Amino acid sequence: MEQSFFGVIGLGVMGRSLGLNIVNKGFKLSVYNRSTAGEETMVSDFMKDVNSQNEVLGFTDLTEFVSSLERPRKILIMIKAGNAIDVVIDELLPLLSEGDIIIDGGNSFFMDTNRRKKELKNEGVKFLGCGVSGGETGALKGPSLMVGGDKNAYEIVAPVLEAIAGKDKNNNPCCTLVGDEGSGHFIKMIHNGIEYVEMQLLAEIYALLKEEYSNDVIASILNQWNQTDLSSYLLEITSKIFLKKENDAYIINTILDKAGNKGTGSWSSKIAFDLGSVNTMMSSAVFARYISSFKSKRSQLSQNIKSENSNKNIDLNDLEIAYRFARIINHHQGFELIKNGSQSYNWDLDLSEIARIWTNGCIIRSDFMERSIFLLKGGKNYLDNEEIISFLKNNESGIINILNTGLINRISLNTFYTAYDYWVAITTNRLPANLIQAQRDYFGAHTYQKIGFNENEFFHTNWNNHD
């Protein structure tokens, strides 16, 4: 039997699409899926969908699957993140040989990827953590792939991964080895955090517009924005969502206002706390989803509130400015978190290159991401750019007007508030943190620094002494 160049374990939505993508790029592929209840036909269904069964070998027996692969074996695991990954790895290990490569393509927590890489190195097996973005369509037509781990292992699997990845405007693959260990999954985690905010901003824009404009008009407004520098994949699909009907009813009007989440957004916030990095917008977007999940409580409490809409018209120019303003802050916080992670974990991540692989295939691809390739070159951040600073400084009134509109009309604008608050704080020379330091010293003798003294000098006051 002629052996396959590459193998995929797990034929769910993403595994299936990636598998078809690999076959379509001309690689001989082996696929495996367990045949437990509910998954009995996964392999056979996949085999029916490929153009030529000669290019694909399908298995429900793991030993046969591994035996079908040429060495070094290259196996992409596409199953739900968590303990299930460890279970599959444990099943694979006795069947593998030294130098074989396992790739975890799920949304695994990067610390788990660090651990697995170390454990498998002791077994002589190489391990890569690969963040995959693009959803079902992206996986089939060209996702963004963020790979972390061993350079030699990446070079072996690169022919497949770079072939199936989306392409940037210069036709280079939106796939790269971003760094060592779990850096690929770390980058995917931050990608999802940025994505949470971008989605929440559009939801808040919807909240502002829906009482005044029809779904068709909202779609038209967003579509017009999408012809400008605000152009993005999320803006594009959102404008289409408002036009979709089912039985003459707009689908958006039938969907329960209760958002789900899979954890990557909250992981980003937790890591920001650990690293001392500010990602208030991601945290705000995560909490907005949490609040939405309390549907019954919100419905109950809303009965006690008399909502009086002031009928203050939304200034669409201000709204466009506020949206542009908030998106800059969101991207700034996201890439600063990546920079802090790179420094803390010694990964030497290239922010400009990360922006490049996010220009196609992934959910947060946008015109601004294209621009970010240049804005982030040489380790710079967005607020190092005079044009960005000038825009933010000269357009505060736009976002302030939108926030006032939200307050007057009693509309929750979590991420817009947070974006402006961050901008105000980061551009304030003297914050009231001196009072906090005095309080900490008062009750805990934590000491404080003094204006005009060496930064290594710390002072303590006996606050109970009234002299």
Question: What is the identity of the amino acid at 350?
Answer: D
CB-CB neighbours of 34 under 10 Å: 18
Strands of 81-189 (E only): list them. 101-104, 126-133, 144-149, 175-179
Q: Name the active-site residue from 74, 162, 181, 195.
A: 195
DSSP characters over 133-160: ESHHHHHHH--EEEEEE-HHHHHHHHHH
Phi, psi angles (nearest 5°) of residue 347: -100, -20
Q: How many CB atoms lie within 10 A of CB 212?
A: 14
Question: Is 212 among the catalytic positions?
Answer: no
Instruction: Read off φ and ψ for residue 6, nearest 5 degrees.
Output: -145, 155
CA distances from 63 to 68, 91, 349, 449, 450 (A): 9, 9, 38, 64, 68
The active-site residue out of 28, 117, 126, 188 is 188
- Supply the angle between the helices 183-209 and 264-275 in degrees, to the nearest 10: 110
DSSP element (H, E) containing 426: helix 414-426
**Alpha-carbon dihedral of residues 358, 49, 31, 71, nearest 10 degrees?**
-80
- Dig out the tokens for 22 from the structure: 């690999």
Distance of alpha carbon 87 from alpha carbon 112, whole angstroms? 13
Strand locations in 124-181 (E): 126-133, 144-149, 175-179
Q: Where are the alpha helices (DSSP H) in 75-134?
A: 83-92, 110-122
Tokens representing 425 are: 């704080």
Catalytic-residue membership of 450 = no
- Amino acid in the structure at residue 175: C
Q: Are 88 and 61 in contact (CB under 8 A)?
A: no
Residues designated catalytic: 188, 195
